[in-house]
Amino acid sequence: MRSMTKTTQKMIFGIILTGSMLGFFWMAWSRIANEPLVRSRLMMGTIIEITAYDRGAEAAITAAFARMQQIEAAIGRQEFSDLNRLAAQAGGRPLKVGDDTWQILSLAAEYWQKTDGAFDVTVNPLLELWGFGYDGEGNFPEPAAIQAALPKVGGNKLLLFPEKREIQLVKPGMSLTVGGIAKGYAVEEAAKVLKRNGIKNAMINGGSSIKVIGDGPGGRGWRIGVENPREAGRLVGVIVLHSGDAMGTSADNKRFFIRDSHRYSHIIDPRTGWPAPEKMTLVTVVTRNAATADILTKALFLNDLNWSMRFLEQENLKAVLIDTQGKIHTTPGFQLLRQS
């Protein structure tokens, strides 16, 4: 075989070099595209963190946060937010509200009925009375004050007029709290924004409210630890979320006070005026919607275990409940993985 000319050798070397460079750039792009972009912001009373793995993630995350800020403005503490306007008009005529407020309160009204009144956004007068309003750490009110506040509470006093998208608070002194639903609703809406922007793998983590898109890096699902409410930093197990899943959690160890050896948490029963009975320490629910997951964790905390397990079975939902004795209750077929 004749030896290659110098020109041929140069051509072959150029082809090899070009191929190597293309391979290098492909590997570099692949690495960058599959590394997560993580961004966090303080909103809705907590740190919201969004993790995304796709190209264009920066713009998509920015748009998702903007959507959440839009929701917060509608139902937040600003003077002219929908909730403050409704409170100022309580006992008077119906008021027209924005789309987000309407969606949130419509869903709240639906679940007030479904949960036998356990979830109730009109509970705010009681929440304030117990000192668990915005950033409140709690205090023990006079029993007479509790009784005086109860007539201002009740989902049947929250009227919705769909044809005009108007809402009325029937009794003077009524006010609303959407702390048990708004964050989940905002997380769900943020997920819609991410998907519209081409994101196929992401997690929105609002602490007590989580939503995932795709099955995560490696396609094996997103592993979320469930913390023991009585031992900070220690997990009782791991839940694996798959594409479209949402997870909500409520626990009695975040906002509470202790009086005469009794723990009084921020989860107030609107039917009695008193904090949740000392039966559960943690409730985690997995659904396909972050807003309903948020709602149900509060309702399951307040209703007894038998009611909760029946409800979860009827709704075909997955849940983990930990009682005050430390016993873990799960819905049939739902596996809580051990920490590896």
What's residue 35's pLDDT?
85
Cross-strand pairs, 41: 48
**Which of left, alpha, beta for 219 (phi over 0: left; psi -120 to 50: alpha)?**
left
HEC string of 220-281 equals: CCEEEEEECCCCCCCEEEEEEECCCCEEEEEECCCCEEEECCEEEECCECCCCCCECCCCEE
Total residues found in the chain within this entry: 340
What's residue 139's pLDDT?
86
140 contacts 156 by C-beta, under 8 angstroms: no
What's residue 138's pLDDT?
79
User: For 289-308, what is each residue's pLDDT tens digit?
Assistant: 999 999 999 999 999 999 99
What's residue 94's pLDDT?
97
What's residue 20's pLDDT?
36
Residue from 298, 209, 218, 193 nearest 245 by CA: 209
What's residue 16's pLDDT?
38
Is 138 within any annotated ligand binding site?
no
What's residue 34's pLDDT?
67
How far, in Å, CA of 15 to CA of 22, rounded? 10
What's residue 339's pLDDT?
57
What's residue 28's pLDDT?
31
153 contacts 188 by C-beta, under 8 angstroms: no
HEC string of the chain equals: CCCCCHHHHHHHHHHHHHHHHHHHHHHHHHHHHHCCEEEEEEECCEEEEEEECCCCHHHHHHHHHHHHHHHHHHHCCCCCCHHHHHHHCCCCCCEECCHHHHHHHHHHHHHHHHCCCCCCHHHHHHHHHCCCCCCCCCCCCCHHHHHHHHHHCCHHHEEEECCCCEEEECCCCCCCCCCCCHHHHHHHHHHHHHHHCCCCCEEEECCCEEEEECCCHHHCCEEEEEECCCCCCCEEEEEEECCCCEEEEEECCCCEEEECCEEEECCECCCCCCECCCCEEEEEEEECCHHHHHHHHHHHHHCCHHHHHHHHHHHCCEEEEEECCCCEEECCCCCCECCC
Is 180 within any annotated ligand binding site?
yes
How far, in Å, CA of 132 to CA of 134, rounded? 7
pTM of the predicted structure, to 2 decimals: 0.87
Per-residue tokens: 48: 């919201």
Pairing of strands 222-227, 209-213: unpaired
84 φ/ψ angles, rounded to the nearest 5 degrees: -70, -35
User: For 130-139, what is each residue's pLDDT tens digit?
Assistant: 988 766 677 8
| Domains along the chain with CATH numbers | 37-71+180-330 (3.10.520.10), 81-169 (1.10.3980.10)
Per-residue tokens: 90: 């309580």
Q: The dihedral of CA 102, 105, 111, 116: what is its sign?
A: negative
**Per residue of the chain (340 residues), what is the pLDDT tens digit?**
444 454 444 444 443 333 433 333 333 333 344 689 999 999 988 999 999 999 899 999 999 999 999 999 999 878 789 999 999 999 999 999 999 999 999 999 999 999 999 999 999 999 999 988 766 677 889 999 999 999 999 999 999 999 999 999 999 999 999 989 999 999 999 999 999 999 999 999 998 999 999 999 889 999 999 988 888 778 989 999 999 999 999 987 777 677 777 777 888 999 999 998 888 899 999 999 999 999 999 999 999 999 999 999 999 999 999 998 999 999 998 888 875 5
